[in-house]
């Protein structure tokens, strides 16, 4: 019987400067036997550099957003499993390790997310990050909205509700599909997996990535995050007949 392995999916847009180091670090994580980069409409050489670093690459002709990139990556892994003769029930398919493309060498530390899922102790693990080397420019509005919304719907108090680094079983991924749109994807995943009666565990990880600044671009990014998180929560409240 072959050991259970993990497929890493890295959504990326315009990460040419960081993607090679991220891919190399992820390829070195024990248990990861497939790294897929989903180039979400990049205008730079992200795809070419990722391929040279050892990833398999899928490209979106235009930017479709993180949730779409994650779905594309999961679908690519499923098709690969079909070719390999591995498709069966959810338990027979590789768990998925979702990785942000800008983590560079620190992505190697994501290995701690894998054992709880492979051993069946959790259906989804979420990385919690230390204080970043560069402080962000936000005021925590989106984090507070996400944390309160998750707690109201599920009772789970998330330390870092917007963390995108996650290892998830295929049963849990299926339970959360279709994914919440845009920047609401992480909150939607957490709520949907918990409401399916599955186990979520937060795990400290020594990770560092690029943070949004306080300039107008950073403010626009946070406004979009707030909109998408609020929409994801509203739709899940509506499903449960809540206001």
Residue 224 lies in a domain: yes
Dihedral Cα 70, 112, 82, 46, nearest 10 deg: 40
SS3 35: strand
User: Partners of 166 in the beta sheet?
Assistant: 98, 126
* 5, HSE (Cβ side, Cα atoms, 13 Å): 17
SS3 state of residue 234: helix
Structural domain includes residue 152: yes
Q: What are phi and psi of 82, to 5 degrees?
A: -65, -40
Mean pLDDT across the stretch 97-112?
96
User: Which residue range forms the structural domain that includes residue 153?
Assistant: 6-239
- Does residue 87 sit within a domain? yes
Tell me the per-residue pLDDT of 21-69, one tens digit each, with 9 for 90 and over.
Answer: 999 999 999 999 999 999 999 999 999 999 999 999 999 999 999 999 9
Q: What is the DSSP string of 200-230?
A: EEEEE---------SSHHHHHHHHHHHHHHH
The string of pLDDT tens digits covering residues 158-184 is: 999 999 999 999 999 999 999 999 899
pLDDT band at 4 (very low <50, low <70, confident <90, very high): confident
Tell me how far apart the alpha carbons of residues 86 and 68 are, in angstroms, rounded to a whole number: 24
What's the whole-model pTM score? 0.89
Q: Which residues, 6 or more positions from 239, have their beta carbon under 8 angstroms from its beta carbon? A: none
Are 187 and 233 in contact by the 8 Å Cβ rule? The answer is: yes
Q: How many domains does the chain have?
A: 1
Asked if pLDDT for residue 218 goes beyond 70, the answer is no
Q: Is residue 102 part of a domain?
A: yes
- Residue 190 lies inside a defined structural domain of this protein: yes
Of all residues in the chain, what percent carry a pLDDT higher than 90? 76
Q: What percent of the chain has pLDDT over 70?
A: 86
Q: Is residue 67 part of a domain?
A: yes
Bridge partner residues of 124 (DSSP): 168, 200
Closest residue by Cα to residue 166 from 209, 119, 114:
114
Q: In this predicted structure, what is the pLDDT of residue 139?
A: 61
Bridge partners of 201, per DSSP, are 125
In a domain, 172, yes or no: yes
Q: What is the CATH number of the domain that holds 49?
A: 3.90.550.10
* Two structure tokens written together for 99: 């990785």
- Domain-embedded: residue 1: no
């Amino acid at each position: 019987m072959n050991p259970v392995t993990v497929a890493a999916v890295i959504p990326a847009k315009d990460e040419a400067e960081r993607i090679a180091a991220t891919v190399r670090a992820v390829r070195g994580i024990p248990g990861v036997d497939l790294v897929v980069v989903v180039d979400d409409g990049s205008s730079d050489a992200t795809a070419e550099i990722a391929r040279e670093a050892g990833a398999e690459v899928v490209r979106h002709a235009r930017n479709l957003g993180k949730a779409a990139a994650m779905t594309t990556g999961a679908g690519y892994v499923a098709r690969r499993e079909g070719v390999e003769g591995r498709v069966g029930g959810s338990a027979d398919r590789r768990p998925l390790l979702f990785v942000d493309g800008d983590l560079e060498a620190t992505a190697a530390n994501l290995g701690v997310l894998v054992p709880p899922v492979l051993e069946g102790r959790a259906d989804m693990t979420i990385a919690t990050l230390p204080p970043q080397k560069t402080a962000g420019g936000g005021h925590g509005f989106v984090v507070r909205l996400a944390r309160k919304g998750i707690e109201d719907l599920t009772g789970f108090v998330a330390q870092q509700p917007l963390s995108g680094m996650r290892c998830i079983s295929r049963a849990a991924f299926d339970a959360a599909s279709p994914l919440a749109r845009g920047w609401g994807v992480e909150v939607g995943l957490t709520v949907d997996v918990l409401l399916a009666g599955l186990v979520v565990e937060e795990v400290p990880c020594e990770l560092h990535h690029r943070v949004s600044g306080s300039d107008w671009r950073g403010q626009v990014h946070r406004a979009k995050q707030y909109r998408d998180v609020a929409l994801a929560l509203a739709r899940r409240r509506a499903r449960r007949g809540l206001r």
